[in-house]
Chains A and B, each alone.
Chain A
Amino acid sequence: MFSKRMVLIIGVIVLVAVNMIWLSVHSKRPYPSSGPDRNALTFISPFQEAVTLTSRFLKGVWFHYFDLVSTGMENDRLLKELEMSLETINRLEEERLANIRLRNLLEFQENADAHGIAAEVIGKDPSPWFKTIIINKGRKDNIGKGMPVVVPQGIVGQVIDATAGYAKVLLVIDQNSAVDALVQNTRARGIIKGEPPGGCILQYVLRRHDLMVGETVIASGLDGVFPKGLRIGRISEIVKQNAGIFQEVVIRPYVDFEKLEEVLVIPVPPKHEFTNP
C-alpha cells in the first residue's frame, strides 16, 4: 500500500517528533533524582576519579620533580656563587688589611730613618713562659743576631738567633728583654724589662721625676740596639715605695703582640748625627 520510501519518510518524521517531545518534556526536569544514567555515573566516576587523580599526581610529580631538580640545580649554582663571592670578599678584605699594614710599615720605614727588611711572623713560642716569635727572614736576607725588630706602633723586640731563612725574635715583653728607654715628656731614663705574663716595667727611674699615667715611653738609643725615639708603650701605673731611690713604672706596650703579623727588621741601627745650626 505504501512504498518503502514513504515508510522511511514517515519514520523519520515520527522519530523527530518523538525526539522533540522527549526533549521538551525532559528539558523541564533536567536533573532527574534517579535513573539509569546515575548508575553509569556511579560506575564510571571512581575510575575517572582514579585516573584523573593519578594523572594529576603524576603530572604534579613530573613537573615538581623537574621544578625541584631545576630549583636544586639553581640552588647549588647560587650557593657556589655565594661561596665564591664570600671567598673573594674574604680574600679582598685580607688583602685590604695587609695593604693597610704594609702601607703603614712602608710609611714608617720612610719616615723613621729605618730602612728595614719586612718579614712575616710564622710562629710563636710554644711555651707560655717565654715570649719569642719566629719570622720568615734570616741570614740570607742580611738579618743577624741583635738587630732590632719594630712595627709602626712601636718596638717589637730584637733578633736573638738567625738561620739561613728564619730568625727568632725575643719580644720586649719577655723577662729576658731589656731596652734603654726615656719618658718622652720628662726625659726620665730607665730600663724597660719584660714582665710576665705580657707587660713591661720601667725600672731604675729616679723618684725625683714626676711622671704621669698615660705618658709615652720611647727608646733612648743608648743601648746601641734600638733607634732613638721609637715608641715602646704608655705608662699605665706608677708605684712609689716609701723607701728607695727608684720608682717602679708599669708600661703598657703600644704593640699588640697577640696580633703581630708583619714586622720590620732594621739591619744596622741608624746613626744619629748632630748637625750644626
Chain B
Amino acid sequence: MMTLFFHIFICIILIIFQTTVFPGIRIFNEFYDLLAPFVIYLGVFRPTREGFPMVLILGFTMDGISGSPLGLYITTYFWLFIGVQWVIQFLHVGNFLILSIVVACGIALESIIHFSIIAIQTSISEIPHFAIITGVRQILWAVFTGPLLLYLFLFLQKKMSAWYGGFLSD
C-alpha cells in the first residue's frame, strides 16, 4: 500500500512538473512525456501486480488532463508497459546504454501512437516535417536523460522502503 502511495506521489509530482513548469521553459517545450520513463521503470524494476494497476491509473489521469482522445494515454502506457516487460526477458537492463535504448524506444513508441491518432483525426497522408523534428528531439532528450530518471526513481524507491522499514520496526 505504501508503495502505491509512493508511486501516486511521484506521478503527481511529474504531472504537475510537466504541465506547469516545463511549458514555461522554452528549451523544454518539446520535452518527452515524463511519465513514460516512469512506466518503463514500473515495467523494469517493479513486479507486474504492482506496476499494472499503476499504469492504468496513470493513463486514465493523463487522458483526463490532456486534450487527447480518451484512451490514448491508457493505450500508450499499456503497450509501453507490456513491451518493456517483454524486452527485459531478453535484455539485461542493468547498464546505462541499454536503459537509454529502452527509454528512447519507449518514447518513440509513444510518439508513433500519438501521431498516428493525429493522422487519423486529420486524415493526413504523409508525415509532416514538424512531427519528425519533434519526435527526434524527444528521443534525443530521452536518450540522455531517461536513464537518469529511472535511476532517480529507483533511488527514491529504495530510500522510501528503507525509511518505511525503519518506521515499522520502531
- Hey, which bits of chain A sit against chain B, CB under 8 A? 122-132, 134, 160, 168, 170, 174-176, 196-197, 258
In the complex, B95 has a CB within 8 A of chain A: no
Which one of B18, B19, B130 lies within 8 Å of A134 (CB-CB)?
Answer: B19
Mark contacts of B121-136 with chain A using CB atoms, 8 A cut-off: 1 yes-contact digit, 0 otherwise. 1100000101100100
Nearest CB in chain B: distance from A126 CB, A = 5
Q: Chain B contacts of A175 at CB under 8 A?
A: 118, 121-122
Of B2-10, B43-51, B60-68, the stretch lying at the interface with chain A is: B60-68
Given contacts A129-B68, A129-B114, 17 further A-B contacts (CB under 8 A): A123-B20, A124-B20, A124-B23, A125-B19, A125-B67, A126-B33, A126-B62, A127-B66, A127-B67, A128-B138, A130-B67, A130-B68, A131-B67, A134-B65, A160-B67, A176-B121, A197-B134
**Smallest CB–CB gap between A138 and chain B, Å?**
13
- Of A124, A196, A258, which is within 8 A of B118 by CB? A196
Query: Within the assembled complex, what's the spacing in Å between the Cα atoms of A90 and B156?
Result: 36
Is B19 a contact of A124 with CB atoms below 8 Å?
yes
Q: In the complex the two chains form, what is the Cα distance from A112 to B130 in whole Å?
A: 36
On whether the beta carbons of B20 and A130 are closer than 8 Å, the reply is no
B21-52 contacts to A, CB under 8 A, are 23, 29-30, 33, 35
* B134 adjacent to A128 (CB under 8 Å): yes
Interface of B is mostly: helix
In order of increasing CB-CB distance, the 5 nearest A-B pairs are A132-B67, A130-B67, A123-B19, A124-B23, A197-B130
Partner of B115, one of A129, A134, A174: A129
Query: Any chain A CB within 8 A of the CB of B15?
Result: yes
Q: Which residues of A contact B68 (CB under 8 A)?
A: 127, 129-130
* Residue of B19, B65, B115, B128 with most partner-chain A CB within 10 A: B65
Q: Tell me how far the C-beta of A175 lies from the nearest C-beta in chain B, rounded to whole angstroms.
A: 5
- Chain B proximity of A121: nearest CB distance (Å): 10
* Closest B residue by C-beta to A127: B66
A175 vs B33: C-alpha distance when bound (angstroms): 20
Please name the residue on chain A nearest to B114 by beta carbon.
Answer: A129
Question: CB within 8 Å of A: which of B113-156?
Answer: 114-115, 118, 121-122, 128, 130-131, 134, 138
Distance between Cα atoms of A258 and B15 in the complex (Å): 19
Expressed in whole angstroms, the minimum distance between the Cβ of B3 and any Cβ of chain A is: 24
Given contacts A123-B65, A160-B67, A196-B128, contact A128 B29 (CB under 8 A): yes
Q: Can you list, as one digit per residue, whether each of B63-95 has a CB less than 8 Å from chain A (1) or not (0)?
A: 001111000000000000000000000000000
Q: Tell me the minimal C-beta distance from B58 to chain A in angstroms.
A: 11
**Once the chains are docked, how many angstroms separate the CA of A228 from the CA of B29?**
33
User: 5 A-B pairs, CB-CB below 8 angstroms?
Assistant: A124-B20, A129-B114, A134-B65, A197-B130, A197-B134
Expressed in whole angstroms, the Cα–Cα distance for A125 and B20 within the complex equals 9
CB-CB under 8 A for A125 and B134, given A175-B118, A196-B118: no
Q: Which of B15, B29, B122 contacts A126 (CB 8 A)?
A: B15
Complex: chain A residue closest to B134, CB-CB: A128
Which residues of chain A come closer than 8 Å to B62, judged between CB atoms?
Answer: 126
Query: Which one, A122, A126, A196, A197, contacts B66 given CB within 8 A?
Result: A126
* Closest A residue by C-beta to B23: A124
Inside 8 A of A129's CB, which chain B residues have their CB?
Answer: 68, 114-115, 118, 134
Which residues on B sit within 8 Å (CB–CB) of A123? 19-20, 65
**When chains A and B are docked, how far (Å) is the Cα of A134 from the Cα of B65?**
8
Q: Closest CB-CB distance, B16 to chain A, in whole Å?
A: 8
Question: What residue in chain A is nearest B16 (Cβ atoms)?
Answer: A123
**Residue with the highest number of chain A CB atoms closer than 10 Å, among B29, B30, B66:** B66
